[in-house]
Amino acid sequence: MNSLYDEFRVALHSVWTRRWLVLAVAWGICILGWLAIASIPNRYDSRARLLVDINEILPDDVQGGGMGGRQQIDQIRETLTSARNLEKVAATTGLLPAGAGEREKAGAVAMLQKNIKVVPQQDNIFEITSSIAVGSLSDADNAKLASGVLDSLITVFRDDQLRGGRMNAREGLKFLDAQIADREKALREVEARRSAFEAQNIGLIPGGSGSPAQRVEAARAELSQIDSQLVSAQAQLAAANGQLASTPQTIPGVGGVGGGVARQQLAGAQNELSSMRSRGLTDAHPDVIALKSQIASLKAMADREGSGGGGGMQNPAYASLAAMRAERQATVSALSSRKSQLMGDIAKITAQQIQNPGIAAEYDRINGEYTAFKAQYDKLLAQREQVRLRGEVQTETDAIKVELLDPPSKPTSPAAPNRPLFLTLVLLAGIGGGVGVAFGLGQVRTSYATAAKLERASGLPVIGSITEVVTPERHLDRRKKLVWLAGGGAALVGLYALLLVAEFIQRGMVA
């Protein structure tokens, strides 16, 4: 413990013997540090809060082509500090002189983008902060400019929102009209090419919509259904034939006049055939074919009724079964005819594809191109209607409402730098630097402050030491130098205090 105390005394003595060096180094560090702090301009911050309200009169898909209110607010936050808006702010606040070049404009915009922060507090509430520290301006001008930047930014943003919505709607309609005209022209060209191709290859292109492969697939699907229906109809016809074969035509032993049921049904069927022809149905129509088959059956039954004897009355059950059989025969005939027609279509399309593969492929390509242009044309028409509705809403109402919750604050004190703290730190750094230099110099120079230190360094015993004899004249000289040293230290502390007072006076002048 004593050795540690001795080392401390030795270090303190080493610093004290070089006290003028400590004072000089402290003055040098403090002067340089305080000059550096004085060169840093004061930064003034101004804050404001905005409420952005989206007036959602139309649904989301009409408001912005699928852009919801949340997306619109995010877009507004991003465009609030756009380069175009900040260039207007720089011009209105005087940061850009009249006739400034592109480099000056870019520099002013970059400075504002760096010093303006937009922080969302809620979904539609934003806090805007501007930080201004222009070295060429006074503190009062910087404080005024900080709030002026926010005032100008909010004004520019409001004006852009009022004009921008209507302008965007007009520009959107103009753009969509041009696109619709282009698609309509392309659609007509494809229609003309398709018509010319059909005229050149008449007889080689089958009718119907869709590609040949699609038509073959549709025909095969319908053919599968008809096959199942035909099997069911044939089974029902076979059952009707069996029932009719086991049923007598007349009831023996019962007198009376022949019923003439077949003739009545024949007359009704012929009347129905006449009605079909009057409606324009041809003999190739499936219903006409089925009705003709039924009429032929009824004629045979009517002939049998006329040639039969009077051995009994006609059996009503037989007549009903005969009519049912005729109806089922007509159904089977119609299904068979449709099946033959589908098989013929499939064979025809397949043969055309085999014989003329290039024509079918070209026709499919033209049809695909037409379908694509038609889909684009319809989509553009729908989008144009949405943009028109949105433009009417923005014209008649305020689609986006911007409300100033807190106006830009007027800064009265700088936000940075903290000069009192920095001045104090520089003073402490100067004193510490002076002490450190003196102590380091004492360690470099080979001198011994005590006899014990000399004995340890040399390894030889030290018999004794002679103290310094101070004469009255030398004592007076030391007192005078000590007064000078105290004056130099006091002057350094006084300068520090003077700088603090000047800082607080300067802040009071800004307020």
| 3-state secondary structure string across 428-459 | HHHHHHHHHHHHHHHHHCCCCCCHHHHHHHHC
* 72 pLDDT more than 80: no
* 234 pLDDT more than 50: yes
Burial, 197: exposed, middle or buried (Cβ in 10 Å; 0-12, 13-18, 19+)?
A: middle
Residue whose C-alpha is closest to residue 391's, from 181, 175, 179, 173: 173
Q: 60 or 54, which is more confident?
A: 54
Dist CA 303 CA 281 (whole Å): 28
| Model confidence band, residue 61 (pLDDT cutoffs 50, 70, 90) | very low
452-461 contact pairs (CB < 8 A, 24+): 452/6, 453/10
Q: 124 or 218, which is more confident?
A: 218
Q: Backbone phi, then psi, for 403, in 5-degree steps? A: -120, 135
Residue whose C-alpha is closest to residue 438's, from 4, 10, 6: 10
Locus of tokens 């098989």: 343
Per-residue pLDDT, 460: 79
Condensed to tens digits (0 to 9), the pLDDT of residues 129-188 reads: 998 888 788 888 888 888 999 898 888 887 776 665 555 666 777 888 888 888 888 888
Dist CA 145 CA 108 (whole Å): 13
Dist CA 212 CA 207 (whole Å): 9
Dist CA 96 CA 404 (whole Å): 26
Buried b (16+ CB within 10 A) or exposed e, 272-290: ebeeeeeeeeeeebbebbb
* 324 pLDDT more than 90: no
Report residue 245 CA to chain centroid gap: 78
| E strands present in 186-285 | 250-252
* 388 pLDDT more than 80: no
Tokens of 262: 């077949």
Average pLDDT over residues 294-317: 67
* 192 pLDDT more than 80: yes
Average pLDDT over residues 11-16: 80
Q: 33 or 194, which is more confident?
A: 33
**DSSP-H helix ranges across 201-281:** 212-245, 261-278
Average pLDDT value over all residues in the chain: 78
Tokens of 251: 């009831």
* 309 pLDDT more than 50: no
Dist CA 393 CA 57 (whole Å): 8
Per-residue pLDDT, 237: 84
CB-CB neighbours of 145 under 10 Å: 20
Dist CA 285 CA 113 (whole Å): 79
Tokens of 161: 């929102």
Residue 129 · residue 46 · CB < 8 Å: yes
* 68 pLDDT more than 60: no
Tokens of 317: 């059950």
Per-residue pLDDT, 30: 95
Per-residue pLDDT, 256: 43
How far from 353 is each of 204, 218, 220, 316, CA to CA, in Å?
9, 16, 16, 56
Condensed to tens digits (0 to 9), the pLDDT of residues 201-221 reads: 655 555 545 556 677 788 888
Tokens of 209: 């919509």
Dist CA 480 CA 274 (whole Å): 147
CB-CB neighbours of 470 under 10 Å: 11
Per-residue pLDDT, 24: 94
Dist CA 204 CA 348 (whole Å): 10
Q: Above pLDDT 70, what percent of the chain?
A: 77
* 17 pLDDT more than 80: yes
Residue whose C-alpha is closest to residue 55's, from 174, 165, 151: 165
Average pLDDT over residues 329-346: 87
Q: Above pLDDT 90, what percent of the chain?
A: 12
| Model confidence band, residue 399 (pLDDT cutoffs 50, 70, 90) | low
How far from 340 is each of 286, 326, 348, CA to CA, in Å?
12, 21, 12
Dist CA 88 CA 79 (whole Å): 13
| E strands present in 67-136 | 116-120, 125-132
Tokens of 224: 């599968």
Tokens of 236: 């029902």
| E strands present in 201-337 | 250-252, 312-314
What letter would DSSP give residue 501? H
Condensed to tens digits (0 to 9), the pLDDT of residues 491-506 reads: 999 999 999 998 888 7
